[in-house]
Structures are given as C-alpha cells and as structure tokens.
Amino acid sequence: MTTAGDIMHSGAQWIPAHETLDRAAQLMRELNVGSLPISDENDRLCGILTDRDIVIGCVAMGHDPAKVTAAEMANGTPRWIASDADVDDVLREMKDHQIRRLPVIANKRLVGMISESDLAQHLTEDQIAGWAESVYAMSGPR
C-alpha cells in the first residue's frame, strides 16, 4: 500500500499565525514553495497560506503585508491527511475539497506536504487524470 508519507515531500515548515505576510513571502522564497501551513500557538494546523492569498487578499486590496498576519488570512477549515493514509484517501480528500496542496500530519505534527508535483511523480497516469479532472473541472477562475 502506498501511503501519504510515501509520496509527500518532507521538510515542510509552518508559518506561525502571528507572523506577517511579508515574512511568509520571504519564507516561501527561501523554501521555494507556494504555500505554507499556518500553525496556532500550540503548533496545530489552523490554516494554509498561499502566495496567491498574499497577492490577491492583501496586496491587491491595498493592505500592507508587513502589517497583516497569517492568521488574518486563514479562512475555513484546513484539510490535512495522516501520514499513514492510503494514497486513495489522499486523492479523495483533495478531490472532495478541490485542493492542490495537502499537509501531512503524524502524531499531531506537520511532517510533510503533498502537492501536484508529488502526485505527478508518484501516481499512475489514470490516477492523475482522475484527480485533475475533478479538481480543475469545477474550480473555475480564482
């Protein structure tokens, strides 16, 4: 059985909820990623911040990214998957919620992330096609 832990990229890092968006952007650049899970004061997942969130939700709205925190951008219930979950569960979670990035959790701690590139590297063409059809067909412009 292939698990989330098998296909994730490890080394994912949190951005604390109290950090500002300019710091989040710097961390994204340093890590060469487009999203960061947001952690609360107990190191628990409380959201996910994307580079698009920073641009559209902050900069384009005329706000100062040095004054807006990651917590202010956290919306909805963050989705995640256990590291020992089967890859079919990973695909179902991503399809059902039309998400492109999924934090991987073990023992209540962040251990990795699964992104589109991870899926492309580890799944069959049929699995990727099914995932892409469900995630992109209904997502429309963002």
* pLDDT per residue as tens digits for the range 43-82: 889 999 999 999 999 999 999 999 999 999 987 788 999 9
Find the CATH number of the domain harbouring 122: 3.10.580.10
pLDDT tens figures, 11-52: 889 999 999 999 999 999 999 988 999 999 888 899 999 999
DSSP per position, 67-126 = T-BHHHH--SPPP-EETTSBHHHHHHHHHHTT-SEEEEEETTEEEEEEEHHHHHHHS-HH
The tokens describing 66, both together, are 């040095």
CA nearest neighbour of 100 among 60, 48, 24? 48
- Residues contacting 83, CB < 8 A, separation 6+: 3, 4, 5, 8, 104, 105, 106, 111, 112
Res 112 pLDDT > 70: yes
Residue 36 located in a structural domain: yes
Residue 142 located in a structural domain: no
Residue 94 located in a structural domain: yes
| 101 DSSP β-pair partners | 115
pLDDT in the model for residue 142: 46
pLDDT in the model for residue 138: 57
Res 8 pLDDT > 90: yes
- Report CA torsion sign: 10, 79, 37, 29: positive
Residue 90 located in a structural domain: yes
Look at the chain and report how many structural domains it folds into.
1
Q: Which domain holds residue 32?
A: 4-137
Average pLDDT estimate for 128-140: 72
